Structure 1
Amino acid sequence: MAADFWAGYLSGAVGIVIGNPLDLLKVRLQAGHGADGSVPTQSPSPQSGLRRFESGNALVRGAAAPILGYGALNALLFVAYNRSLMLMDRTITDPTDLQSIPLWKIWLAGAAGGLASWGVSSPTELIKCRAQLSSRAEVSSWKIAKEILHARGFGGLYYGGAITSIRDSVGYGFYFWSYEYCKRYFASEKDDSRQAALKVLLCGGIAGIVTWASVFPLDVVKTRLQAQPILESRPRGPFGETRPMLDRQILNSFQIAKQAYRREGWTVFYRGLGICSVRAFIVNAVQWATYEWLIKTLNRSDNLVFSLAT
């Protein structure tokens, strides 16, 4: 377990460091408004999103939670994926060599891995999203987390958790499926180490694009759901009872999707997909290359230690 855990953790952290600036732009394009509830008078564009990078610090805004959280998420994802796949097929000995495994098993194992990582991905996504959309100059992931805990308790960290779990399960199913499909499509016995490494980068990048294309409408709804003004203290009655906030209605996923379609048309569900695809290709190319290199290196080290011990 140690090899795929640490390979997943470190590759996930590397991916966040590389992709956070583009992820910030993607989230702002998806939301169409800030976490303070303000709605623009016109649809946002990549140029307006870039102008909202108030300082160099904005490029890494919201990165602290994902670097720690996504590292753990990626570790859980790969461990759950590998274990699920091994439960379905006992012949697997090397997680980087799955040529004989049916692709439908890989999709199911990926979906199981995505669902297993939900416990980390849901609060991480909420904190990241609200930090990236905040208009406050001084904001951090830690400050956002404390505000959520103070206003809504521990359960508040899982606001939007249902749609996040669906997105992760479906998305990661296609993530592992498309990566393995590409590896098989481009495989050749004549490849040298350089060609093999380039193909890993290519397959990882393609897998990232396929994954986001498959769940992008869900991600748009999730972003808008989590960007709602949910942190205001609710007014109290004379006996301490909580009164409804009639001026700030909190919408559910279906209401948000319906409202977005009615106001902005179906294209709203793909706003930011171009930026996201560029980011997905770069991040997942590097992430898969890092993962495969690390797991092979760690497995060789474990085998060497075992051989010396015996």
Structure 2
Amino acid sequence: MDGKSTSNSAYNSAVFNEFLRRNKAVVCALSASYISTFAGYPLDSLKSRLQTTKTPISVPRLAAIVYREEGVAGFFRGLWIPLMTISFVRAASFTIYTRTKEHFRDHHWLARDSIVDVSVIGGVSGAMSGALISFGSAPFELVKVRRQLEYTIAASKGLQLTKAPGTLEAVREIFQANGIAGLYTGFRLHFIRDTLGTALYFLEYDGMRHLLGRQRNGEQGVTPSWLPIPASLVPFVCGSFSGVTSWALIYPLDVVKTKVQQRALAGERYRGVFETLRRLIRGPDPERPKPLLSGIARIYRGLGVSALRSITTHGLLWTFFDLVSNYIDELPRTDEDG
């Protein structure tokens, strides 16, 4: 009986290990995403609030106001949406990104061991991933924005909330107002942002990993003399760098998207992308425009907390992604696996 039990246990373990190997990209992305999303969500919530406030406010003061008015729960309002959906979206994104890179490799396209080829493959794979995933992620992000800005949206309607509605109630209200199309409010901006942002993100990440010693077979080599950091820190450094820089480049587009969605959710008159951008930079009165520099500063309001969120989220994401990936690679194989 003991021998049979041991044999069954070994068989089940081998099957499970093979399952992990076959679905490595999904397993790595899911496990890493849960941790990084939870860690960075309070900063993401503050970022959304900073983008929509009409007067400048420091991050510590805003955090104090949120804590005083909404408690600790205010920082995590809507958390389960990205925790349960964006994590799966990220898994799909990494799968598309990985499969596209494998397609390039199998056809020997851009096969030189150069930073240009590595970066271009990463950028094209990221663009493909961002474009396809945006169709599924747009409704969830809209609901997340709605939950994060419940009090601001209520104030725009002249209401005062005593208790913010739950996520399902928020979805029902959006659906009742505009049907399925309401869940895709601001989709064009979301699509452009995700396609460009994901392309930049993976282009920078793969390019920097190449500079820091990663070989074409995926193994991490010796880091260069100009940045002699431990190999274990390479994923965190590259993830943080690519997350911050790619986000900074598309940040104005995200601000406009959030503002357009906020106005739509509040039932206010629709303004086009360029009108929204102009009003954010130069103010509502064309006869008395605000100084250009102060307008640009408003566009980048919240970038500091967003950069901190990117460092935390993307650094942890790639660190745990690599840890799980290495763990799966080191799982014992059966004789049939070779």
TM-score, length-scaled by structure 2 = 0.75
The 5-angstrom pairing of residues 1-310 of structure 1 reads 2-32=23-53, 40=54, 42-50=55-63, 51-53=65-67, 54-90=70-106, 101-135=117-151, 136=161, 137-187=163-213, 189-190=221-222, 195-230=230-265, 248-263=268-283, 265-301=295-331, 304=333, 307=335
Q: How far apart are residue 74 of structure 1 and its match?
A: 0.4
- Largest Rg, 1 or 2: 2
d(CA) in 1 for partners of 2:183, 2:30 = 21
Q: How many residues align?
A: 279
- Opposite residue 316 of structure 2, the aligned amino acid is V
Question: Tell me, which stretches of 5 or more residues in structure 1 are unaligned?
Answer: 33-39, 233-247
d(CA) in 1 for partners of 2:94, 2:212 = 23
The farther-off stretch of 178-187 and 121-130 is 178-187
Q: How far apart are residue 190 of structure 1 and its match?
A: 4.4
Q: 8 Å contact 2:212–2:222 — kept in the other structure?
A: no
d(CA) in 1 for partners of 2:177, 2:131 = 27
- Opposite residue 123 of structure 1, the aligned amino acid is P
d(CA) in 1 for partners of 2:140, 2:133 = 11
Q: How far apart are residue 102 of structure 1 and its match?
A: 2.9
Relative distance call for 1:98 and 1:149 in structure 2 (3 A) is: farther
d(CA) in 1 for partners of 2:277, 2:56 = 16
d(CA) in 2 for partners of 1:98, 1:120 = 34
Q: How far apart are residue 189 of structure 1 and its match?
A: 4.0
Q: How far apart are residue 284 of structure 1 and its match?
A: 0.5
- Opposite residue 232 of structure 2, the aligned amino acid is A
Q: How far apart are residue 297 of structure 1 and its match?
A: 2.8
Per-residue deviation, residues 286-309 of structure 1 (Å, max 9, x unmatched) = 0011112223333554x726x457
Q: 8 Å contact 1:13–1:70 — kept in the other structure?
A: no
d(CA) in 2 for partners of 1:230, 1:279 = 25
Per-residue deviation, residues 193-249 of structure 1 (Å, max 9, x unmatched) = x921112111111111112112101110111111124365xxxxxxxxxxxxxxx31
Structure 1 counterpart of 2:217: none
Relative distance call for 1:159 and 1:98 in structure 2 (3 A) is: farther
Relative distance call for 1:77 and 1:189 in structure 2 (3 A) is: closer
- Opposite residue 51 of structure 2, the aligned amino acid is Q
d(CA) in 2 for partners of 1:127, 1:285 = 26
d(CA) in 2 for partners of 1:43, 1:91 = 52
Identity among equivalent pairs (%): 25
